[in-house]
Amino acid sequence: MHPLLGLLISYVAGSVPFAYLAGKSRGLDLRQHGSGNLGASNAVRVLGKGVGAVVYLCDTLKGLLPVLLLPPRVTTTQPHLWAIVFGVATVLGHIRPIFLMGKGGGKGVATAGGVFLGLAWLPTLMAACVFTAALLLTRISSVASLLSAVALPVALFLFAGPRDPVFGVSLAMMLLVIWTHRSNIARLRRGEEPRVGRKAEVSSR
C-alpha cells in the first residue's frame, strides 16, 4: 500500500464519530447533551455505561488497527515510522472528523491510547493504570485523561529513552490532550467539572 493511501485511510478511520452514531441511534445529538463532546466519557454520561464502553472500544480500535495493519513493510525502520505517522493522522481525524466537516470531534484520549498500544504496549498499559486509578480516586474523567497523558511520556522515557521517536510523539500528544481539555481545565479551576455517574444535563458545557 502506498503511504499516502495509508495516511488517507488512517485519517478517514479516525474521523468515524462512533459517539455521534451511538447518540443518533438513540435519537440524540451528543454535541447538544452533557459536555457536548463526542467521546466515550460523554457517551457514558448521556447514554449509559454499556453504550459508552462500546464507544470507548471502537475509538480505541480505530487508533490501534491503522498502526498495526497499514504501515508498508519495506525496511526494518520504515514500518515503525509510518506507524507513527498513521497513528497521528488517526488522532487528528478523531479530533477534526471529516464526516462532521472538521468540527465537533472528540478529545483524542481513547484513540491515542489505541495508537500507542500498537506502538509501545507496555508503557501504554502503565498509563492506562494511571487513568484507572485517577478515575477511581477522583471520579473525574478529564483528570484521569490528563494524568494518563502525562504518565505516558514518563513511562516511555523510562522504557525506551528520549531518542525513541515514539517518546517524542508522546510529548506532542500530551500537549494535544492538554489543549483539547482546556475547557475542562477551566471548569476544574472553578470546581464545576462533573464527576462520573452524575446525571447529564442538556448543553451543560
Residue 57 falls inside a structural domain: yes
Residue 144 falls inside a structural domain: yes
pLDDT tens track for 102-160: 887 899 999 999 999 999 999 999 999 999 999 999 999 999 999 999 999 999 999 99
Total domains in the fold of the chain: 1
- Round the average pLDDT of the chain to a whole number and report it: 89
DSSP result, 138-179: H--HHHHHHHHHHHHHHHHHHHT-TTSHHHHHHHHHHHHHHH
Q: What's the confidence (pLDDT) of residue 198? A: 59
Name the helix (H) or strand (E) containing 45: helix 40-47
130 or 34, greater pLDDT: 130
Domain of residue 104 covers 3-190
pLDDT band at 204 (very low <50, low <70, confident <90, very high): very low
- Contact predicate 67/79, CB 8 Å: no
Residue 204 falls inside a structural domain: no
Going by C-alpha positions, the residue among 63, 60, 26, 61 that lies closest to residue 43 is 26
* pTM to 2 decimal places: 0.89
Instruction: Find all residues with CB under 8 Å of 130, minimum gap 6, and list them.
Output: 144, 147, 148, 151
Residue 203 falls inside a structural domain: no
pLDDT band at 203 (very low <50, low <70, confident <90, very high): very low
2 or 174, greater pLDDT: 174
| Range name among 45-54, 65-74, 149-158, 192-201 with the lowest pLDDT average | 192-201
Beta bridge partners of 33: 202
Distance (Å, whole) CA 2 – CA 136 = 44
DSSP state of 194: P
Q: Residue 185 burial (CB < 10 Å; 0-12/13-18/19+)?
A: middle
Residue 115 falls inside a structural domain: yes
